[in-house]
């Protein structure tokens, strides 16, 4: 039997994924740990070197099972999306947050330093058609919201005060006062969580409606405006209309495309408010400094 393809099976002479036990020979096996990509676009290379062959790329939010992290800053793992195995910069990974609930069906947009597709891309624009929060599990996800977490800490402190008062056998009025503070802290946390969940549901609905409006506009109005421009040009060349009509049709097409850009910006604005609601989804200073170091 031929050996498994190492590009999509995590094994090396010195290390392999635990599920390949009995399939491949190696010095040791490891279960691996799940991480998420936190950079817009990350190269997955065949060896731990920026000069090594590029096998594929991982996008922001993708899951990676990491089996080894080296002192040189490389993580060796396997992508959950397409199963590719390779080396990624360790500082491009972090412990995963909520599982993404939407799948991308359009090509991503790359940002180039010059009008030349042969130039290395600077970054991939964020994918605003996928969110990390889950509508069915917002209570659990938003329990990590900074303000809710702070109130939870205050509730824990109040509960600790109750236990101390009971252990010290304080007077009933004193114990009742600590119980009242604990209940007040709990009510404040629950109210804040309900508020955040309600507001997030509204944002998710706004995001979905904004995407629907954007898609309808792109599918229907923009093509119609383009067809009108072309038809007016044909009529002008045949002497059946005037240049003023051509310019009016071209202006209407331009306005339709500008409206499409505004709709895309609205979707992006709502997406940012949803996707960066929790602290683990925000870029940190250490990540920013590491990106600057790589650029230098």
Please tell me whether residue 123 adopts helix, strand or coil conformation. Answer: strand
For the whole model, what pTM was predicted?
0.53
Q: What is the DSSP string of 249-293?
A: HHHHHHHHHHHHHHHHHHHHHHHHHHHTSSGGGSPPHHHHHHHHH
CATH number belonging to domain 16-102: 2.30.30.40
Boundaries of CATH 1.20.1600.10 in the chain?
A: 135-281
Boundaries of CATH 2.30.30.40 in the chain?
A: 16-102
46/91 Cα distance (integer angstroms): 18
> In terms of C-beta density within 10 A (0-12 exposed, 13-18 middle, 19 or more buried), how is residue 206 classed?
middle
Please tell me whether residue 247 adopts helix, strand or coil conformation. Answer: helix
R_g over Cα of the chain:
27
Query: 135-281, which class in CATH?
Result: mainly alpha
Token pair 């002008």 is at which residue? 236
Q: Which residues contact 286 (CB under 8 A, 6 or more apart)?
A: 91
Do residues 69 and 118 make contact, with C-beta atoms less than 8 angstroms apart? Answer: no
268/249 Cα distance (integer angstroms): 29
Could you list the pLDDT tens digit for every one of the 296 residues in the chain?
577 888 889 999 999 999 999 999 999 999 999 999 888 778 889 999 988 887 887 877 788 999 999 999 999 999 987 788 999 999 999 988 765 554 444 445 666 667 777 777 766 566 777 777 777 778 888 888 888 999 999 999 999 999 999 999 999 999 999 999 999 999 999 999 999 999 999 988 999 899 899 889 988 898 999 999 999 999 999 999 999 999 999 999 999 988 988 888 888 888 878 877 776 554 433 333 343 343 33
182/151 Cα distance (integer angstroms): 11
Looking at residue 3, what is its pLDDT? 77
145/31 Cα distance (integer angstroms): 31
181/149 Cα distance (integer angstroms): 17
Q: What is the DSSP string of 95-114?
A: ---SPP-----S---EE-SS
162/165 Cα distance (integer angstroms): 5
> In terms of C-beta density within 10 A (0-12 exposed, 13-18 middle, 19 or more buried), how is residue 77 classed?
buried
């Amino acid at each position: 039997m031929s050996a498994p393809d190492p590009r999509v099976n995590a094994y090396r002479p010195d290390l392999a994924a635990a599920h390949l036990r009995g399939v491949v020979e190696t010095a040791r096996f490891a279960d691996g740990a799940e991480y998420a990509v936190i950079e817009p676009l990350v190269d997955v290379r065949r060896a731990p070197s920026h000069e090594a062959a590029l096998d594929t790329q991982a996008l922001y939010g993708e899951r990676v099972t990491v089996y080894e992290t080296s002192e040189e800053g490389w993580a060796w793992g396997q992508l959950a999306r397409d199963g590719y195995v390779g080396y990624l910069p360790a500082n491009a990974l972090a412990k995963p947050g909520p599982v993404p609930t939407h799948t991308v069906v359009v090509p991503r947009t790359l940002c180039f330093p010059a009008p030349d597709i042969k130039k290395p891309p600077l970054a991939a624009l964020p994918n605003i058609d996928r969110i990390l929060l889950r509508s069915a599990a917002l209570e659990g996800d938003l329990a990590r919201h900074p303000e809710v977490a702070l109130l939870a800490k205050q509730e824990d402190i109040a509960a600790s005060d109750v236990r101390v008062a009971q252990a010290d056998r304080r007077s009933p009025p004193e114990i009742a006062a600590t119980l009242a503070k604990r209940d007040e802290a709990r009510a404040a946390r629950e109210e804040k969580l309900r508020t955040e969940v309600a507001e997030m549901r509204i944002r998710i609905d706004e995001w979905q409606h904004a995407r629907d409006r954007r898609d309808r506009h792109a599918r229907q109005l923009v093509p119609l405006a383009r067809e009108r421009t072309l038809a007016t040009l044909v009529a002008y060349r045949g002497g059946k209309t005037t240049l003023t009509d051509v310019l009016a049709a071209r202006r209407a097409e331009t306005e339709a495309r500008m409206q499409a850009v505004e709709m895309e910006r609205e979707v992006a604005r709502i997406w940012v408010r949803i996707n960066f609601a929790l602290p683990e989804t925000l870029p940190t200073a250490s990540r920013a400094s590491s990106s600057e170091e790589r650029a230098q």
